[in-house]
């Protein structure tokens, strides 16, 4: 059998790897800005490995946004893709496009124990859905289901665009401040890299502080250094992530657990574990008891999206036999 290739494509970077014998090989990260289209980036990736077009029989790409039809436009970068032209140019027999958080959810099936940190104790309930949620460039949300035949199913969605929930008078005041700036306030408007800076500015405006920090990295660094305003902002970020994750657990009956993924939260893992996330996660009034025993993990794996793309491709090829 020829090689297979998997990709996890974001706004800034495209990660590619070969998929052989159910494992990743030759992972490379390329900047999307350096290429006009995914075909060009993949051709460069293959050339760097000494492989020509036609060396790869099947490709699975994990892409942000709803995936359907012949044409796909990437939501966070300038790339576009036409399935037929893609396969012709790269001499590929099979192309599978999946939602990036479907890939992320499937990637949870490949985690090793040292690639996750416990945030809330518990035991995943067999047969129940699991929630996969992650602040990054935006806020991704996916659902993972174990099927009776041993396969896995990931349910895509656009859960990052739900309304931002309010659980306290302070959050109501912050929501009003955000609303005055944004109009409709989505969870993603706070729970993302840029959202952290948006939240910092809202706190400063509400409390009359002059904003001194100019990037999400500066906000998180200042919080870890103990700067009071930044500490409050990062704590509120964690609390709001808890509320959104908890809402998903109730909606889906997700007693299979919650996986916190993405590039933002691992940067302040210890702060997150000690934050009010767990309290906000389970603070649901008469339904608070539902959360007893629901585990939450912070995922630290390096390439879960690529691993999930490999699982998706493997399952798709197996079902076609």
- Residue ranges for the known binding site are 7-12
Which burial class, exposed, middle or buried, applies to 158 when counting CB atoms under 10 A from its CB (0-12, 13-18, 19+)? middle
Q: Which residues are annotated as a binding site for ATP?
A: 7-12
Q: 30 forms bridges with which residues in the sheet?
A: 14
Contact (Cβ atoms closer than 8 angstroms) between residue 258 and residue 297: yes
């Amino acid at each position: 059998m020829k090689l297979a290739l998997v990709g996890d494509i974001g706004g800034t970077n495209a990660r590619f790897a070969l998929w052989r014998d159910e494992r990743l090989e030759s992972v490379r990260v390329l900047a999307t800005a350096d290429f006009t289209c995914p075909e060009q980036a993949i051709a460069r990736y293959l050339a760097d490995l000494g492989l020509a077009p036609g060396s790869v029989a099947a490709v699975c790409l994990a892409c942000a946004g709803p995936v359907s039809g012949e044409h796909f436009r990437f939501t966070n970068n300038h790339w576009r893709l036409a399935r037929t032209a893609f396969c012709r140019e790269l001499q590929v027999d099979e192309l599978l496009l999946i939602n990036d958080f479907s890939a992320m959810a499937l990637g949870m099936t490949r985690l090793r124990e040292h690639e996750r940190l416990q945030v809330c104790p518990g035991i995943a309930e067999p047969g129940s859905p699991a929630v996969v949620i992650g602040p990054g460039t935006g806020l991704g949300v996916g659902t993972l289901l174990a099927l009776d035949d041993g396969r896995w199913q990931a349910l895509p969605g656009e859960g990052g665009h739900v309304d931002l929930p309010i659980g306290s008078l302070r959050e109501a005041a912050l929501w009003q401040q955000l609303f005055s700036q944004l109009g409709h306030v989505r969870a993603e408007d706070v729970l993302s890299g840029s959202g952290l800076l948006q939240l910092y500015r809202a706190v400063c405006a509400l409390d009359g502080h002059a904003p001194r920090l100019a990037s999400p990295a500066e906000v998180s660094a200042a919080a870890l250094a103990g700067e009071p305003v930044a500490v409050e902002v990062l704590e509120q970020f964690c609390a709001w992530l808890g509320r959104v994750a908890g809402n998903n657990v109730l909606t889906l009956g997700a007693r299979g657990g919650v996986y916190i993924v993405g590039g933002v939260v691992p940067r302040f893992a210890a702060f997150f574990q000690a934050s009010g996330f767990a309290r906000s996660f389970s603070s649901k009034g008469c339904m608070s008891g539902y959360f007893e025993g629901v585990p939450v993990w912070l995922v630290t794996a390096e390439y879960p999206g690529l691993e999930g793309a490999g699982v998706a491709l493997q399952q798709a090829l197996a079902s076609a036999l």
